[in-house]
Amino acid sequence: MKHLIKLFKILVVTLIIALVCNICVADNLIVNNAIAELGKGETEANNQGSEVRLYTRGRDVAWCAGFVSWILDESNIALFKYSLSAKAIYNEANRKGRLTTNPKAGDLIVFNRGNPKSWQAHIGIIEEVDNAHIYTIEGNVGRFPSTVKRFTYKRDSIKNLLGYIKTGKD
């Protein structure tokens, strides 16, 4: 009986911490699926490799949006059409009223690349949010061999931030 009481106390403390920190990573299929892809990516050349082709439906192309689209598909989230364009996903989210200023774990983050009016952008998955930082999982950042990696951004100074896309019901 003492063992059950101790286990119950640990469970209660864990739940309180999760609520206080506004983190629900364990129950977020999008985040869990993205975590499972950490370290995967380019193996043959820039924007090339079997994992890149998995994310991009067989193409050797820039793959950040393909990675996000693939994760959403794997998570049974059908909010947006599969796309290899981060800006197209952002524009579709905007049309559907899915942009938010209050991102949560499992939502998407989009950055301008180059001229903000161009088609170019970058997209990633938000793993966690706290008062000061946004923690993401992103593919196709940096030089070959680029892999799926974690990044941390200061919430009040994210360079080239285009916006956040909500994937949940809230």
**Does the pTM exceed 0.85?**
no
| Cis before 103 (ω within 30) | no
**Cα–Cα distance list, 46 to 41, 83, 155 (Å):** 10, 19, 30
Closest CA to 141 of 73, 62, 86, 85: 62
The 10s digit of each residue's pLDDT in 99-146 is 999 999 999 999 999 887 888 999 999 999 999 999 999 999 999 999
d(CA 165, CA 68): 12
Dist CA 17 CA 110 (whole Å): 29
Rg of the chain over CA atoms, in angstroms? 17
Give the three-class secondary structure for 98: coil
Give the DSSP per-residue string, 5-39: HHHHHHHHHHHHHHHHHT--GGG-HHHHHHHTTTT
Q: Looking at residue 106, what is its pLDDT?
A: 97
DSSP state of 26: G
Structural domains in the chain, sorted by start = 25-165 (3.90.1720.10)
Q: Name beta bridge partners: 164.
A: 100, 109
CA angle 118, 135, 142 (to 5 degrees): 50
Summarised one tens digit per residue, pLDDT across range 4-32 is: 555 445 444 444 444 434 444 446 999 99
* Mean pLDDT within 142-163: 96
More confident residue, 18 or 60: 60
